[in-house]
């Protein structure tokens, strides 16, 4: 699988994992201290080839994603579920631990960020009504929903933002939340 866009990752080990999975070029942020030189390279890549952000599914990875996304609008985003990024020992979380198949799957479900002001489709009240905000099992439901919609895990506020940023339709949201509850009832 050849990827036209440059893939933004955190470090060298992530680049190695990406290259095992796909034919692509990467830009390494070298951790969460994303400096202006790296941002300038990402901005140039966005202008020339496009950019996909694929960072670790943890707080520092999400922080890097926000920094890059804010400074370089219009990026695409790929998300790897936590269970795909955990080391065999269970003591490390990162893209470098993911299998080539998991990375390819994440890249198949890339989401485009909308630069113009998105229309609110799923409201804050919809999230409350679906049991995704404050309540028993809300975190677990958000994690499953994020996986089904390929937008990654997020807290309630971030989930609301991502649903709008990626313009998830009411129909997509309804089908995914229905599946979340069906799986919950089966267990």
Statement: the pTM of the whole predicted model exceeds 0.85: no
Give the SS3 label for residue 93.
strand
pLDDT digits (tens, 9 = 90+) for 48-88: 999 999 999 999 999 999 999 999 999 999 999 999 999 88
- pLDDT score of 31 more than 90: no
Closest residue by Cα to residue 22 from 94, 111, 79, 107 = 107
Kindly report, residue by residue over 17-26, the tens digit of the pLDDT. 999 999 999 9
CATH number, span 6-112:
3.40.1360.10
> In the block, which residue shows the tokens 């799986």?
183
**Do 75 and 52 form a contact (C-beta atoms < 8 A)?**
yes
The domain segmentation of the chain, as residue ranges, is: 6-112, 124-186
**Res 24: pLDDT:** 97
Residues 23 and 40: their CA atoms lie apart, in Å, by 23
């Amino acid at each position: 699988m050849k990827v036209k866009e440059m893939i933004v990752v955190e470090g060298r080990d992530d680049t190695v994992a990406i290259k095992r999975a796909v034919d692509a070029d990467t830009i390494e942020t070298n951790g969460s201290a994303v400096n202006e030189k790296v941002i300038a390279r990402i901005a140039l890549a966005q202008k020339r080839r496009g950019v996909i952000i694929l960072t670790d599914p943890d707080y520092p990875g999400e922080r890097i994603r926000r920094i890059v996304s804010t400074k370089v609008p219009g990026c695409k985003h790929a998300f790897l579920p936590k269970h795909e990024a955990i080391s065999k020992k269970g003591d490390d979380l990162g893209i470098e631990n993911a299998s080539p198949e998991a990375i390819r799957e994440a890249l198949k479900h890339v989401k485009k960020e909308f630069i113009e002001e998105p229309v609110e489709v799923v409201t804050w009240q919809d999230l409350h009504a679906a049991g995704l905000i404050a309540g028993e099992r809300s975190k677990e439901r958000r994690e499953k929903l994020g996986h089904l919609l390929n937008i990654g895990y997020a807290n309630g506020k971030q989930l609301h933002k991502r649903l709008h940023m990626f313009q998830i339709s009411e129909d997509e949201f309804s089908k995914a939340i229905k599946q979340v509850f069906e799986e919950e009832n089966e267990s």
